[in-house]
Each structure stands twice: as C-alpha cells, then as structure tokens.
Amino acid sequence: MMIFVDADACPVKEEIYRVARRTGTPVKVVANSYFRVPPEPLFEQVVVGDGFDAADDWIAERA
C-alpha cells in the first residue's frame, strides 16, 4: 500500500505523516511546486507541471 497526497491544498499533511510513520506506509507527496516534506525514507516528493489538476492527474494515472 502507498498513500498519494495532492499537497497543493491538503490541510492534513502533518496527520498523514504521523499515521505513515506509525504504520510504516510510504507516502508520495505530489504538488505543482516544491513543497517541504519530512526528510525520511517513507516520504517522497513529486513535483508535477503547472497545468490545471496536474497533481490530481498524476495521482490518478498511478493509483
């Protein structure tokens, strides 16, 4: 299992990080621009293009 997060407008990122640490579940944090993610192996940042719904589309293609 993997958690995909559209980080551009997600108000619960810290909660997601906390649950991921507790369960050991990897997280891909997807955004249109650089976004700070915890520097831990469980978390991967993915920067996508600036197009409308680019993060949503990237996630949908991989889920």
Q: Read off the tokens for 21.
A: 């640490």
CA distance 60 to 6: 11
- In the chain, the number of structural domains is 1
The string of DSSP letters for 9-62 reads S-TTHHHHHHHHHHHT--EEEEESS-----SSTTEEEEE--SSTTHHHHHHHHH
Terminus-to-terminus CA distance in the chain, angstroms? Answer: 10
Q: Residue 41's domain spans which residues?
A: 3-62
Per-residue pLDDT of the chain (63 residues; tens, 9 = 90+): 999 999 988 999 999 999 999 999 999 999 999 989 999 999 999 999 888 899 999 999 998
CA distance 33 to 46: 9
Q: Is the entire prediction scored with pTM above 0.85? A: yes
